[in-house]
Amino acid sequence: MKFSGKSAKPRLISGIKPTGKLHLGNYFGALKQFVDLQNDYESFIFIANLHALTATPTKEKLLEDTENIVLDYLGAGLDPKKVVLFKQSDVPAHANLAWIFSNLVTVPYLERAHAYKDAEAKGSEVNAGTFTYPVLMASDILIYDVDVVPVGKDQKQHIEYARDIAGKFNNQYGELFKLPKEMILEHTAIVPGVDGQKMSKSYNNTIPLFGTDEEIEKAVMSIVTDSKGKDEEKNPDDLVLYQIHKLINPSQELRTSYSRGLGYGEAKKMLTADIIKFITPMRERRAKYENDPKLVREILLEGALKANEIAMTKLTEVYEMTGLTK
Ligand code: ADP
Ligand code: TRP
């Protein structure tokens, strides 16, 4: 199939960095949206392995995390017939355009980025990749002329940066880039981790998406609870346990039993069982792909071909508009 780059459907792009095992926060904050939207949007989903380099992983770790995330995407239900699935590094135009964009933003502007400020606050010296992270991300997004970018709330500022950068280019060289919008689902915008903070690979507070039964149980058992007794009335929204449980089981019935004082031990057992039941079909699909590495390679190759076609067309226009080529 020749990919024309034109479709009646609106277009979306998103990616996740291969920096560790995906967790329920990644699933409900990002991945689930990719799956839910794949019929209604022309979707580009990628593995942000260039961005993962900002954490300077070893070669082995980056390869392993990349392989896992591809399988996680497919296991979670991304259909390679509907979605253009690719590795960021297989489309060199992203990094190329990022260089061009990096000349349109100032150092103080990048210093205001939350992710940079957080890295800086940790005390150790921040690498230049982390500093220019939003510029590469803007390039990932803008090169495909997308309408929306489905992400968790923590990525909102990055999408604002992409819009700003599109505006700066359009002002300086002429209209070329479409201004993208973030798509954030309010009820899953921030999934809490087992300690009640945002669930994150970097906080060691995750419930793994594709963990073993034992890993899931261990994580659920460690969810923080208060000292209120069984049968004591509670506001479910105050409970981290319920905030996680309702993602899997949003029924009113569950809410009522929490508010009537469902015991935490029993609730944790239920939650463990509910998560396992919920992920079983995804695990089975993931295992099928895991057993067919040739198919997975072909999916990524085809994705890269389609993505390169669009990205190179856009980059060529940028070259012409900026004077890099005639
Ligand atoms: P992490 O914080 O675990 O390193 P990433 O930064 O790799 O996660 O995020 C990948 C995607 O998952 C992003 O779209 C991000 O917004 C989303 N995401 C991550 N953690 C959460 C969470 N706790 N709640 C909602 N969305 C999340
Ligand atoms: N910064 C995103 C994250 O940490 C990953 C990412 C890189 C991304 N490029 C992107 C997300 C482009 C959406 C669109 O999760």
* Neighbour tally for 65: CB within 10 Å: 21
Query: Which atom of ligand 2 lies nearest, measured to the CA of 158?
Result: 1
3-state DSSP percent of the chain in helix, strand and coil, to 5:
60, 10, 35
Cα–Cα dist 271/216, whole Å: 10
Going from the C-alpha of 73 to that of each of 16, 18, 32, 161, 248, the distances in angstroms are 10, 11, 10, 26, 19
Which pLDDT score, from 0 to 100, does residue 299 have? Answer: 98
Cα–Cα dist 159/141, whole Å: 8
Q: Which ligand is nearest to the CA of 15?
A: 2
Contact between 76 and 27 under an 8 Å Cβ cutoff? The reply is yes
Cα–Cα dist 63/293, whole Å: 14
Give kind and range of the element (H or E) at residue 85. strand 83-87
Q: Which ligand is nearest to the CA of 201?
A: 1
* Best mutation site among 12, 140, 182 for ligand 2 pocket (most ligand atoms within 8 Å of CB): 140
- Give the distance (Å) from ligand 2 centre to CA of residue 221: 31
Residue 199, ligand 1, Cβ within 6 A: yes
Residue ranges of the chain whose pLDDT lies below 50: 1-4
Contact between 47 and 15 under an 8 Å Cβ cutoff? The reply is yes
pLDDT tens readout for residues 248-272: 999 999 999 999 999 999 999 999 9
Give kind and range of the element (H or E) at residue 272. helix 264-290
Q: CA 282, 286, 291: angle at the middle one, nearest 5?
A: 155
Reduced to 3 states (helix: H, G, I; strand: E, B; else coil), residue 140 is: helix
Cα–Cα dist 56/247, whole Å: 33
Residue 94, ligand 2, Cβ within 6 A: no
Reduced to 3 states (helix: H, G, I; strand: E, B; else coil), residue 290 is: helix
Which pLDDT score, from 0 to 100, does residue 152 have? Answer: 83
Residue 146, ligand 2, Cβ within 6 A: no
Reduced to 3 states (helix: H, G, I; strand: E, B; else coil), residue 158 is: helix
* Residue 174: φ, ψ to 5°: 115, 155
Which residue, among 243, 212, 207, has the nearest Cα to 26 in the 3D structure? 207
Tokens 């803008």 -> residue: 142
Sorted by sequence, the CB contacts under 8 Å of residue 243 that are 6+ apart come out as 191, 192, 237
Q: What is the DSSP letter of 207?
A: -
Contact between 87 and 299 under an 8 Å Cβ cutoff? The reply is no
Residue 190, ligand 1, Cβ within 6 A: yes
Q: What is the largest CA-CA distance in the chain?
A: 75
- Whole-model pTM above 0.75? yes
Sorted by sequence, the CB contacts under 8 Å of residue 273 that are 6+ apart come out as none
